[in-house]
Structure 1
Amino acid sequence: MGGFSYALIAISAVLLACAYVAPPRLRLPPHLLGHPIVDKPNFLDETTVDDLLDWTRRLGALPSVTRDTDSYKVKREHIGEAVPINNVTKKCDKPFLIPDAKRELCVFPGRIDVGKHFIMAGGLEGLKEPYETIVSRVQPFIKYIFNYSEHPVPKRLFESEEFTKLAKEVCPSHKQGVLDYFQFNLIVQVPGQTVASHIDAPVFYHANRFEFPQWLLASMVFSGLFQDDFVDQVQVVAYYHKWKTSDGGEFYFWDDLSGQAKKSFPASRSANSVDGSKVVHAAAIYQPKKTPPILDQNARNELEYNKLTKQWEVKSDGIVARVYNEEEIRFGAVYRARCFADKADQAAFRKGQANQWSLDYVLGIFKKDLVSRGVYREGIDAYDLGLLIMKTYISYPLSPNAVFPYNYCALSRLYPWTAPLLKLVC
């Protein structure tokens, strides 16, 4: 029997083993279902679109989402999994770690929950691609603005009557008294990229993204163990590219257990409103027939406008990897606000923010529940504990259409011995 046949047998055995233990393709907890989403065509006028594009050009380099903490500081960037970076390669040896902001330690990416699931499951499309390609697809570029009032364009949008009305349609009926605006960010995709299934950074009365890694906050939401402290919020996503028809890039969301995602088309000037911190959502691959620029997760990957050529450049550690015309790019502006019943509710939140939970307290609740489930092992280190928490509680959807909803082409990242075999079929 030839080497190719042996390879097929080995790969088939791996796939059958995966299929045997495969969970249902959609198993979201009840508290993440049944929440509204509102579509609004022509939300932005042409002048605002031009203003947003001009402002984006002037912002400088936009980092990829794997480096989101370049835009803000996290008091506890890790839960103890951090290890020194490899001084020879300047990379991280463990498969799910990346260099921290100082490039001294290796830590879980802030949204490892999102990236890990996308790499292993292949996203909405059930992609079967090598690790280097698929990890590049899930690195769109993002810019966070927390002091929105210092920027005229987002300030004008936040304080408009249209925004207030659209936002309040999503806030729970008993929490529409005060909209507490707190974040504005830009999310930009080049052809071949996507936004993987995720929930937005949650906010609790006693926990937020400035204190804890986002993957831990997402785990807290999925688990339901911290629901009494959860703060409802609203995100309005508005599209400010100028193209009118799209090849992919649709906004997908899950609000029931029917198995199929619902979708919203990212038409120019349109917007949708949803509480993304409790509605799982994603974007389809934008221009799926095109390959994304290959971006090493250990590198500093950025998108920047070149004023001389009037083009957008994707850079990896300062080296230009790909160049795009502006009409090739998908631009989204995201506005976020917290929903409060009244001023007293808002004041209670601010008091809670000044009295944050400790990391030991949060991990202690998880450990107690993991013990009750019979999955906790004494002496487990922080790296394995983080992976166990995500595996136990977070359940992003698997592709509803792929025959086999796992990306076996990325197996070699975890199991290097499969690399020669997978090259024959991937």
Structure 2
Amino acid sequence: MTVSLAVRPKHLLAPPVRLEPAFDDPDGVVDLIKKGSPYKTLSAVHRAKGETSGGWFRNFWALGGKVIFDGAEPYFYNQRFIDAAKKSFKAEIIRPVAMMTNLNLPVEGLPYHQDLPFFRGAQNREVPSWMLAPMGYSGLFHDWAIPVASAITWFYDGEGGEFEYWPDGLGAPSRTERPPYNNCSVLADNEYMFHRVGSVGPKAEQHRYDNLGHDAKLELTGDNHWRVIDEGEEVALVDYGTVRLSVLWKGYCFRDEAEAEAYDDHSHDLTTELIKEIFCGDLLARGIKVSKPADFETDMAWKEVITSTYTPPTAVQE
């Protein structure tokens, strides 16, 4: 198949919507977060063997439009998020698709980024998760992108942990949400809007967990402390409020029934062969030679070329 390498039209960001309160039952949300203990590292959850996550832990409440964590149903179908997504994305049909908790121990601030995008026929079941970000940054797959609303809700009143975001692009001023957080949320176009988490906790503690192993655990004790376990040993016991808690909800946004039906019938899906062809065509145009991989997961030369070529743009600081 011949693929046009013409520049895709620029994506227009859906405007952020701030929600406070985010949930009708915030205590129930926090109780469910506690119920999720013990937590796995981010790298373990996403099966990124050999990578470390520092003090970042995660658990999924819903995936693929289905609740997978008992008790999460009323929060997954949160009407506040659905109504805000309709308004922001000018969409008639909102389908909740995923929900997860994020727990952050003290850590240095993260770089700005976009969330892993969703593409028709190519999500993290069909391609490795590491390849989704370069697909988004490349701009080559915009025609297959699924509009996704992301609502991040925070429960944290400790030091640091701000949420900085660029709703008008990296060339414009950012906005920042800061603790104390208690059941407030920002719903935005995070697959296209750059955003970042600021440093969490006291500066002296921010590198304490850099070398936690892939299989480390974060466990809530009976007296409401967080225990950090690595290689079967307790490496830290910290106060409950030390950990920054957030809940991330995502929903597909379809302008109308026709757009939803086009997604459902898979008539406009990507395939692995088409992904290879699009990437290789663009790399050739850039003067970069690479062979088509037989397997995305195991071809390390392919991974190196893709991840080093398609990276976030550099912000211009004034």
TM tier, shorter chain?
Answer: 0.7 to 0.9
Q: Pairwise mapping of residues 1-40 of structure 1 onto structure 2 (< 5 A)?
A: 31=10, 34-40=13-19
Distance in 2 of aligned mates of 1:364 and 1:235: 30
Question: How many pairs does the alignment contain?
Answer: 302
Deviations 1:294-318 (A, max 9, x none): 35365312211122x3211122233
In structure 2, give the amino acid aligned to 1:383.
M
Larger Rg: 1
What is the aligned counterpart of 1:330 among 237, 240, 244? 244
Residue in 2 that maps onto 1:140: 56
Q: 5+ residue gaps in structure 2?
A: 1-7
1:351 lines up with 2:265 in the alignment: yes
1:42 lines up with 2:18 in the alignment: no
**Does the aligned pair in 2 maintain the 1:63–1:300 contact within 8 Å?**
yes
In structure 2, give the amino acid aligned to 1:221.
G
**Does the aligned pair in 2 maintain the 1:259–1:400 contact within 8 Å?**
no
**Does the aligned pair in 2 maintain the 1:204–1:229 contact within 8 Å?**
yes
1:251 lines up with 2:251 in the alignment: no
Residue in 1 that maps onto 2:85: 167
Classify the secondary structure of the residue corresponding to 1:57. Answer: helix
Deviations 1:379-423 (A, max 9, x none): 99932322222222222546959xxxxxxxxxxxxxxxxxxxxxx
In structure 2, give the amino acid aligned to 1:324.
V
Distance in 2 of aligned mates of 1:284 and 1:214: 24
Query: Using a 3 Å threshold, how does the CA distance of structure 1 residues 155 and 396 change in structure 2: closer, same or farther?
Result: farther
Classify the secondary structure of the residue corresponding to 1:143. Answer: strand
**Does the aligned pair in 2 maintain the 1:370–1:376 contact within 8 Å?**
yes
Residue in 2 that maps onto 1:389: 306
In structure 1, give the amino acid aligned to 2:56.
P
Distance in 1 of aligned mates of 2:73 and 2:219: 23
Residue in 2 that maps onto 1:365: 278
Residue in 1 that maps onto 2:144: 229
Query: What is the Cα deviation at residue 343 of structure 1?
Result: 3.2
Distance in 2 of aligned mates of 1:297 and 1:212: 27
Distance in 2 of aligned mates of 1:318 and 1:68: 18
**Does the aligned pair in 2 maintain the 1:293–1:321 contact within 8 Å?**
no
Identity fraction in percent: 21
Classify the secondary structure of the residue corresponding to 2:118. Answer: coil
**Does the aligned pair in 1 maintain the 2:164–2:175 contact within 8 Å?**
yes
What is the aligned counterpart of 2:102 among 151, 162, 187? 187
Classify the secondary structure of the residue corresponding to 2:126. Answer: coil
Distance in 2 of aligned mates of 1:145 and 1:295: 26
Distance in 1 of aligned mates of 2:14 and 2:125: 26
In structure 2, give the amino acid aligned to 1:258.
G
Query: Using a 3 Å threshold, how does the CA distance of structure 1 residues 341 and 398 change in structure 2: closer, same or farther?
Result: closer
Residue in 2 that maps onto 1:93: none
Deviations 1:197-233 (A, max 9, x none): 3222211122111211222122112212111111101
In structure 1, give the amino acid aligned to 2:20.
P
Q: 5+ residue gaps in structure 1?
A: 1-28, 71-97, 100-105, 110-134, 402-426
1:293 lines up with 2:211 in the alignment: no
What is the aligned counterpart of 2:187 among 251, 268, 273? 273
Query: What is the Cα deviation at residue 34 of structure 1?
Result: 4.4
In structure 2, give the amino acid aligned to 1:180.
R
Classify the secondary structure of the residue corresponding to 1:395. Answer: coil
In structure 2, give the amino acid aligned to 1:326.
Y
Query: What is the Cα deviation at residue 196 of structure 1?
Result: 4.2
Residue in 2 that maps onto 1:156: 74
Residue in 1 that maps onto 2:4: none
**Does the aligned pair in 2 maintain the 1:140–1:194 contact within 8 Å?**
no
In structure 1, give the amino acid aligned to 2:253.
C
TM-score by length of 2: 0.82
What is the aligned counterpart of 1:67 among 44, 50, 60? 44
Structure richer in helix, relative to its length: 1
Distance in 2 of aligned mates of 1:49 and 1:338: 24
Distance in 1 of aligned mates of 2:110 and 2:59: 14
Distance in 2 of aligned mates of 1:379 and 1:181: 35
Query: Using a 3 Å threshold, how does the CA distance of structure 1 residues 223 and 65 change in structure 2: closer, same or farther?
Result: same
**Does the aligned pair in 2 maintain the 1:191–1:288 contact within 8 Å?**
yes
In structure 2, give the amino acid aligned to 1:252.
E
TM-score by length of 1: 0.63
Distance in 2 of aligned mates of 1:396 and 1:297: 29
Residue in 1 that maps onto 2:225: 311
Distance in 2 of aligned mates of 1:194 and 1:346: 38
Distance in 1 of aligned mates of 2:38 and 2:259: 38
Residue in 1 that maps onto 2:3: none
**Does the aligned pair in 2 maintain the 1:65–1:142 contact within 8 Å?**
yes
Deviations 1:224-245 (A, max 9, x none): 211111110101111133x3xx
CA-based RMSD? 3.0
Query: Using a 3 Å threshold, how does the CA distance of structure 1 residues 326 and 399 change in structure 2: closer, same or farther?
Result: farther
